[in-house]
Amino acid sequence: MSSSDDRESILSRVRGALAPLHERAAMPDYTTELAVMRQMMGSRDALVVFAERLALVNGIALTDPVALVARLRENKWLHGYCDPALWPALAPHFGADFKVETTYDRKRVDDYAFGITRAVGAIAETGTIVLNDATTSRRLGALTPWVHIAVVERAKIFSDLPEAVAGLGQDTNVIWVTGPSKTADVEGILIEGVHGPGVQIALVV
């Protein structure tokens, strides 16, 4: 059978299955305020809440590039990739001990200890960074290095999930990243850095 035969057969079976129903369940009327965490935001500053929630999922929020560079140096994460659009502004903070490339070579995936890319926004109540195709210079550059640094504009922090969903926009690939990549598959023990970054940093500017 071809896909179009299967299409007809599935749709006719669906119609047949639903035909005996006298009444179909109606779509409930609700507002997504229902799904907002209670007392999370209050009148607090979105950045404060974002940093606090990000820390709870073992992510790190920084506001000063100097602190970022110090942390990278301290951990000997000296070789990385940076979005070429961000590099001119960041370069003055990095010393000569760093090797930063603005093109990403997928053949040398293990060379990059860190990757710096732009985020399109963030979500305060969950400590989430929002990435999309338009602002991420390379999907791989934001994923394969051990450390991912997302540069987030302070004005683009959503308060909560419903607000962030409303702001998904037209991009075909929107990714919410909440902390470092992790697993608990082996005996329920939390291990960070599975296929993606083991360290997730948000640099809020």
Partner 1 sequence: MRFQQIDQFAAELKADTRAAVYDGSKKGHEKRTKLLFDEYADPDRLRRIAGEVKQHVVENLDTYLPQVEAKLKANGVIVHWAATAEAANQAVLGIMRARGATKMVKAKTMVSEETELAHFLEKHGIEALETDLGEFIVQIDGDHPSHIVKPIIHKNRREIATSFEENGLGAYNDDPQTITRRARHFLRHKYLEADVGLTGANFVSAESGRLVLVTNEGNSRFCLAATKCHIAMVGIEKIVPRDYDLALFLNLLARSGTAQELTVYTEFISGPKSPTQPDGPEEMHVIFVDNGRTEVLASDCRDILRCIRCGACLNVCPVYRQASGHAYRSVYPGPVGAVLSPLMMGDKFPQKADLPKASSLCGACHEVCPVNIPIPDLLLRLRNRAKEENVPSPGTPPMGAWALLASQPTAWRASLFGGKIINYLPTKLLPIPALRAWEAKRSLPAWRGGEFRKWLKTRKGRANVSPPAPSRAEAKKAD
Residues within window 24-83 making contact with partner 1, judged by CB under 8 A: 24-28, 30, 32, 34-35, 37-38, 40, 57
Q: In the complex, what is the shortest distance from the CB of residue 166 to partner 1, in angstroms, rounded to a whole number?
A: 7
Tokens 């305020």 sit at which residue?
33
Nearer to partner 1, 48 or 173 (CB): 173
Spatial contact of 118 and 93, defined as CB atoms under 8 Å apart: no
Nearer to partner 1, 70 or 134 (CB): 134
**What is d(CA 202, CA 135) in angstroms, rounded to the nearest whole number?**
15
Query: Does residue 171 interact with partner 1 by CB under 8 A?
Result: yes
Q: Kindly indicate which of the ranges 41-49, 83-91, 93-101, 173-181 contains the residues binding partner 1, using the contact rule CB under 8 A.
A: 173-181
Query: Does residue 3 interact with partner 1 by CB under 8 A?
Result: yes
For partner 1, which residue of 42, 43, 155, 185 counts as binding (CB under 8 A)? 185
Spatial contact of 144 and 92, defined as CB atoms under 8 Å apart: no
Tokens 């990403």 sit at which residue?
104
Spatial contact of 54 and 127, defined as CB atoms under 8 Å apart: yes
For partner 1, which residue of 93, 100, 111, 196 counts as binding (CB under 8 A)? 196
**What is d(CA 30, CA 1) in angstroms, rounded to the nearest whole number?**
42
Q: Phi first, then psi: what are they for 141, rounded to 5°?
A: -65, -25
Q: Kindly indicate which of the ranges 42-50, 68-76, 82-90, 139-147 contains the residues binding partner 1, using the contact rule CB under 8 A.
A: 139-147
Query: Does residue 85 interact with partner 1 by CB under 8 A?
Result: no
Give 103's contacts (C-beta < 8 A, 6+ positions apart): 84
DSSP-derived secondary structure letter, 26: P
- Alpha carbon 164 to its chain's center: 12
Q: In the complex, what is the shortest distance from the CB of residue 179 to partner 1, in angstroms, rounded to a whole number?
A: 6
Nearer to partner 1, 80 or 179 (CB): 179
Give 155's contacts (C-beta < 8 A, 6+ positions apart): none
Query: Does residue 128 interact with partner 1 by CB under 8 A?
Result: yes
Nearer to partner 1, 69 or 176 (CB): 176
Q: In the complex, what is the shortest distance from the CB of residue 165 to partner 1, in angstroms, rounded to a whole number?
A: 5
Query: Does residue 145 interact with partner 1 by CB under 8 A?
Result: no
For partner 1, which residue of 88, 134, 153, 154 counts as binding (CB under 8 A)? 134
Other CB atoms within 10 Å distance of the CB of residue 61: 21
